[in-house]
Amino acid sequence: MSKRVILISFAFALVGLSAEFLMFFFNKESLFTVVSEMQHVLSIVQIRTSGFLEYSLAWKGPTLGYPDMICYLMLLAGAILYMRSTGRETRLIRFVLAIILMSNALTAFFSILMPSSFRSEFQVASSWGWGIYGITLAKNVALAYLSYLALRVMHRGKVLVAVPPDADDASQPVWQKASGEQRFTNVVLDIIVCVLIFLPLGTRLAPDWLSWMEHTFGSRMGVFLLLVIARTFYYFLFETTLAATPGKLMTESRVVDVDGDRPTPGLIVKRTFARFIPFEPLTYFVEGLWHDELSYTRVVREKQTGVEGMRYWLVVPSIVVLVSLGLAADNVYKRHLENVREERLHDRDVAYMQYELSKLDTDHIIELYDTDPSSSPRSFYLKVEEVNGGDVTATLIKKNSSYYESLVEIREAFYNNALIRELTLVKFKRTVLEAAYTPDISDVERGEFRVADVLGDGRKFRMVRLDRLGCSSIFEQGMNEGSNLTGTLTLRLGNHGVRGYVTSIEILEGSLHWERAETDNEAPTRESVTMPDFFVKFSGYHSDERYKMKMMVTEAGGTERFYLIEGEGEDVTIRRLDE
């Protein structure tokens, strides 16, 4: 038993697990950039397709890399088994260390070839970014080297299983070939590991190259060529350095030449390319696998020194179950965050609707939605004609015998003095509209709404929108992005009403500064196909600072409309000021 192997394995597992959970201990937007860089530097296994390789300046909450988590827990379990068995049980620990070796070696190799793909926006934007890049590169090289040393130590302690010789045969011993079950297990495990190692490298580091492959050779041929390249790297590098792939290390088997010696790189090249002969796996049932026969190599058994029977194989599913429970808990946590966000957006919509109802006037358009799915049409638009205290008089907007399909069509008719309304007036109480819009988010989640008999014919409606003709109606989309690193805040806004432009923003509180856009911050209508929303950008942003500003929107007709924007971090509220 090697104390160095135990020390390396425990250090890798504990540092990796700490890196995975680091974001949960510093779950704050203002620390996101620094913590994500720390995660990147501390990561041990480079097989996750998000998180460490996904550099984003937008706070999305803490995330876990589940393939990484499984590897760290398997390494921890393997180190414990190795220590308790005094060095005899090596399968699990060798399997994970081989993954760490290859993932870090490939990451270091490609980071040298394509440094821009491995440097985050944070590193590019800072003067010491190349320092972080260098530290990360050195870490990858060190992890690969230490993993290789540990694997070599355990490899020296493994012996091959020899076939008992005849009594009169004193020739060189013949090593026992790996069984069919071992070969099949090797293939399955190696496919999984190959995908885990090369998927993040392909999807995150060379997306343009992958797209070119698919465009040039077609989607199917492109995927086939990518698999050929990945498997070529995978088998050549593993069998050249270790004479075994992770799958073979798990089943305690290795590659040798026909004399029982370590195969040369030339034989490994032949062996690797022979795998891609069509229908080559089927040759196992005829005369032996061609990639063995053509390369003069064999896969032989190592002597099993560890745990026997099914008890050992219960370790892996136990870890998978444990991580699955963690995944379920993480999903519950993410749903909680999403519910909090939805509740905030719902409260914003309720506040907007209540504010509009309190200011109800003759320029308002009310959109009602029939709760009966069999009704046609299901949407109706009412034009407010008179408001007398709590009594509201409106007309049903129609064009001849049909109905308007959208507010865009109604606005166009209104501007052209062609808006057609029924002569029959609809009278109802203002409280009826309040009853037609629920302030309870639990009802929204269940798809249940407070409904009102607005038209007086027994049909139930819920109010889905309340807009004003000839007026912009700016609202916050709930997908703002702020970064302490760059000191910028981007508000994503929408517009229910007429088209206009953000012409001035007066900062009333806080240190924000409006970055005026070249497009004059056009505020289009929400129904616009080409631009359903627009962005307003600020500098001088700090996530823990409150801010307040007054935004002026000049509408298409020249009317100036004012809005009050208040917020802290990425949470923003906006309401129109009647001036």
DSSP string, 160-193: BPEEPPPTT--SPPEEPBPPHHHHHHHHHHHHHH
Residue 358 belongs to a domain: yes
- What is the rounded CA–CA span in Å between residue 354 and residue 105? 60
On whether both 461 and 491 belong to a single domain, the answer is no
CB 550 within 8 A of CB 506: yes
**Residue 94: what pLDDT?**
92
Residues 453 and 480 in one domain: no
CATH of the domain at 507: 2.60.40
Range scoring the smallest mean pLDDT among 269-278, 311-320, 326-335, 361-370: 311-320
Single-letter residue type at 570: E
Among 468, 490, 525, the domain boundary falls at 468
Domain boundary among 445, 468, 491: 468
Across the chain, what does the average pLDDT equal? Answer: 79
- 450 exposure class (CB count in 10 Å sphere: 0-12, 13-18, 19+): middle
Q: Dihedral of the CA atoms 411, 412, 418, 423 (nearest 10)?
A: -30
Q: What pLDDT does 518 receive? A: 57
Phi, psi at residue 427, to the nearest 5°? -115, 135
User: Are the CB atoms for 467 and 367 separated by under 8 Å?
Assistant: yes
Q: Do residue 523 and residue 572 come from a single domain?
A: yes
User: 255's torsion region: left (phi>0), alpha (psi -120 to 50) or beta?
Assistant: beta
Closest CA to 414 of 369, 393, 383, 385: 383
CA distance 112 to 103: 14
Largest CA distance in the chain: 116
For residue 552, the enclosing domain spans: 474-577
Please provide the DSSP assignment of 2-14 as one string.
Answer: -HHHHHHHHHHHH
pLDDT category at 43 given cuts 50, 70, 90 is: confident
Structural element, H or E, at residue 106: helix 91-113
Question: Do 488 and 438 belong together in one domain?
Answer: no
As a dihedral over the C-alpha atoms of residue 110, residue 112, residue 115, residue 117, rounded to 10 degrees, the angle is: 0
| Residue 543, in any domain of the structure | yes
Question: Could you give the percent of the chain with pLDDT greater than 70?
Answer: 79
pLDDT at 121: 43
Mean pLDDT of 487-509: 85
**pLDDT given for residue 52 in this prediction:** 35
Judge contact between 550 and 577, C-beta under 8 A: yes
Helix extents (H) in 364-487: 407-415, 430-435, 441-446
In a domain, 517, yes or no: yes
480 falls within a domain = yes
> To which residue do tokens 């896969």 refer?
299
Same-domain pairing of 551 and 567: yes
- Average pLDDT rounded to a whole number, residues 164-179: 71
Residue 433 and residue 494 in one domain: no
Peptide bond into 377 cis (omega under 30): yes
pLDDT at position 400 is 61
Q: Helix or strand or coil: residue 57? A: coil
The token pair that represents 395 in the structure block: 């007309």
Neighbours of 246 (CB within 10 A): 26
C-alpha to C-alpha distance for 474 and 563, rounded to whole angstroms: 8
Whether 446 and 504 share a structural domain: no
Q: How confident is the model at residue 316 (pLDDT cuts 50, 70, 90)?
A: low
Q: Name the domain boundary from 468, 484, 509.
A: 468
Q: Is 386 within a domain?
A: yes
* 533, part of any domain: yes
Give percent above pLDDT 90 in the chain. Answer: 12
Has residue 494 been placed in a domain?
yes
Q: Is 400 left (phi over 0), alpha (psi -120 to 50) or beta?
A: left
In this structure, the answer to whether residues 378 and 351 fall within a common structural domain is: yes
Instruction: Specify the higher pLDDT residue, 553 or 31.
Output: 553
**What total of structural domains would you count in the chain?**
2
**What number of other Cβ atoms are within 10 A of residue 94's Cβ?**
26
Of 307 and 389, the structure prediction assigns the larger pLDDT to 389
Q: How many CB atoms lie within 10 A of CB 39?
A: 20
Region of 10 please: left (phi>0), alpha (psi -120 to 50) or beta: alpha
pLDDT single digits (tens) 403-438: 776 776 777 777 667 777 776 788 888 888 888 887
Residue 450 and residue 510 in one domain: no
pLDDT digits (tens, 9 = 90+) for 95-140: 999 999 998 998 888 888 777 666 554 444 555 667 778 888 899 9
Residue type, 152: R
Same domain, 499 and 388: no
Residue 420 sits in the same domain as residue 361: yes
**Which one, of 524, 525, 528, 574, lies nearest residue 551 by Cα?**
574
Q: Are residues 479 and 440 in the same domain?
A: no
User: Does residue 489 belong to any structural domain of this protein?
Assistant: yes
Q: How far apart are CA 215 and CA 212, in angstroms?
A: 5
